[in-house]
Amino acid sequence: MNQQQEREVARGLREGKTEAWHALYETHAERVWGLVARLMAPNCDEVPDVVQETFLAAARSARNYDPARGTLWLWLGGIARNHVALHYRKQRRHNRPGDVDDFPVAAARQIADWLDNRRPTPGEALDVAETGAMVRATLTELPVDYENLLTAKYVDGATVEQIAAARCCSYEAVRSKLARARRAFRRAFDKCSNHPTDGQASVYHDS
């Protein structure tokens, strides 16, 4: 969808035109599914519900969409992330024993080792269902740029050089931002898991 098409769809959404909604869905539905599945795990039964809630929320707020503040995808992606985060908050409220008191301490320690640069990735910890869900929940609590950066590096396996090239910035800039993202993740993870990981994440030298 080019800029002219974006403007036409945005105007149609504000005016409540059905064809604009069809264009939005056809262009971005698959991408929304991918984003939600990535944040909730592809086999999560609630993915369809969150996708549906995303588009319903977009319908309710369409008249307030301002193209000057970002593209349609940035707007829709932000709504999707908000609803994934809401899903995890509801889950924590309704399933308190499973996600706090019974959260695997050993898995939390493996995450802490990753944050302190003693293991290259969260590794086996992510194979533990509770930990994988907690990591994904934590990512939704971070600023979008930190979430994207950590996901690219540690979920998608991209190198710092590849990320720098994709972002058109320097290796040092990406490495510095990754260090800040890991520190932000530590604070959010400690809050979500109720198992403090202690200390501060080190500045690391991944490549």
CA terminus-to-terminus distance, the chain? 35
Mean pLDDT of the chain: 77
Reported as a single tens digit per residue, the pLDDT across 77-114 is: 889 888 888 887 777 665 544 444 445 566 666 666 66
116 within a domain of the structure (yes/no): yes
pLDDT above 50 for 30: yes
Rounded to whole angstroms, the Cα distance separating 162 from 169 reads 10
Mean pLDDT of 14-34: 90
pLDDT of residue 180: 92
- Residue 52 sits in which domain range? 3-91
97 within a domain of the structure (yes/no): no
CATH number for the domain harbouring residue 23? 1.10.1740.10
* SS3 track for the chain: CCHHHHHHHHHHHHCCCHHHHHHHHHHHHHHHHHHHHHHHCCCCCCHHHHHHHHHHHHHHHHHHCCHHHCCHHHHHHHHHHHHHHHHHHHHHHHCHHHHHHCCCHHHHHHHHHHHCCCCCCCHHHHHCHHHHHHHHHHHHCCCHHHHHHHHHHHHCCCCHHHHHHHHCCCHHHHHHHHHHHHHHHHHHHHHHHCCCCCCCCCCCCCC
202 within a domain of the structure (yes/no): no
85 shares its domain with 110? no
206 within a domain of the structure (yes/no): no
pLDDT above 60 for 197: no
pLDDT above 80 for 17: yes
